[in-house]
Amino acid sequence: MMQLSAATGAPIRVLVTDDSPIYRRLISDALSRLPNVEVAGTSFDGEDCLRMLERLKPHFVTLDINMPRRDGLSTLEEIRKRRIDTHVVMVSSPNAQSADQTMRALRNGALDMIFKPEGDDFEANRKSLEMQLLQQVETVRSLAKTAIARSRDSSGSAGMRSANLTSAMKAASSDASRSVHYVVSKSNQSQPDARKGVFECLCIGVSTGGPAALGVLLPQLPQRLSVPIFIVQHMPPMFTKSLADHLSQLGPIRVSEAIHGERPLPGHAYIAPGGKQMRVVRTGKEYRMEITDEEYDSPSKPSVDYLFESINAAYGRNTLALIMTGMGSDGLRGCKKLHASGAYILAQSADTCVVYGMPRQIVDHHLASEVVPLPAIAARIGELLRNTR
């Protein structure tokens, strides 16, 4: 019922949880300034949060990572254990320990995260919180609308939306070999398996739900991948390093945060550093990555479009691109250019996305060569790399 009310114009109700009175007030005030949002209540730690959740039934709850008695991670686990119908947004501080803990939460069912601003400029801090919280509100409302649409099709599957990494990995292990796929737009190709040319890189754009989705995809890729992988995951500084370290432990693909001037290697995945832009440049037959602070017309930093436009200039039609779960339209501009060059573009299917925003833009604009469910993406990439010449 909460999801239905959120989708039909009722205010989004939020429970704010933080042991710091200052941050409870900052987050509550920022939420109160947003249109059609109601602060249902505040709680001072995980135990207090669990009590209030049952009574207030908010659409989503913000959970501070570090709290006395019960911290954010154990509170998230208990919310999932009790099957409480709410989304969880983690609130993290800018340090390595919080980044690691937040990554664990995102892999285990948290919807997303917001970053605690810690500068001296109060007004800048307020605006930062408002922008981050506005995105969470829009995401929750979008999910509610999707839930209504899905309820009208009782035969549809909920897929792995909001599933944790463990269950997603089990699904991938059993389903990946099936290589389920279907063509959405044939564009320049007569059929998927007849794609001519040689792929020289794989580039991936992903946002909300990305850490868990990448945790499914990367370990299932072929062990001796013949191309480098470039990834933009929307995240702030420090968190991309934690994500890369975790993903590198899951399987054969080496994953690292990209370094300025580094030359990409086959079978290695490079994640754009949070708060920076990443591009690939070509000089003759050599490629290297550049990490920049360049201004770019995008609300996201790193930006998928920024990377994909450089990929198009460097690799052109020899690009295999993938747009995965995420809110918004980042990647659309870059995919338009890649599509015009003859690149091959995959989109994650709606039923396996946490948020079907970024892939939907690619599908709706007829840029997707194929739409593929998450458990089958790795196998399909393997087929495309084997079958091209």
pLDDT of residue 356: 93
Average pLDDT over residues 252-274: 96
pTM above 0.85, yes or no: no
Q: Is 9 left (phi over 0), alpha (psi -120 to 50) or beta?
A: left
Q: How far apart are CA 290 and CA 279, in angstroms?
A: 5
Residue 55 predicted with pLDDT over 80 = yes
Question: 280-291: per-residue pLDDT in tens?
Answer: 999 999 999 999
Question: 334-377: per-residue pLDDT in tens?
Answer: 999 999 999 999 999 999 999 999 999 999 999 999 999 999 99
The amino acid at residue 341 is: S
Active site members: 207, 234, 330
β strands within the chain, DSSP E? 12-17, 37-43, 60-64, 87-92, 112-115, 182-183, 201-206, 229-233, 254-257, 268-271, 277-283, 286-292, 319-323, 344-348, 370-372
Query: What is the span of the domain harbouring residue 257?
Result: 165-387
| Residue 144 and residue 170 in one domain | no
| Residue 190 and residue 66 in one domain | no
Here the CATH number for the domain that contains residue 203 is: 3.40.50.180
Question: 171-184: per-residue pLDDT in tens?
Answer: 444 444 344 444 44
Average pLDDT over residues 166-173: 44
| Residue 274 and residue 341 in one domain | yes
Q: When comparing pLDDT for 332 and 173, which is higher?
A: 332
| Residue 236 and residue 334 in one domain | yes
Residue 156 included in any domain = no
Contact 106, 90 (CB under 8 A): yes
Which phi and psi (to 5°) does residue 375 adopt?
A: -65, -20
pLDDT of residue 309: 98
**Least confident span in 51-55, 114-118, 192-196, 251-255:** 192-196
Q: Percentage of residues in the chain with pLDDT exceeding 90? A: 66
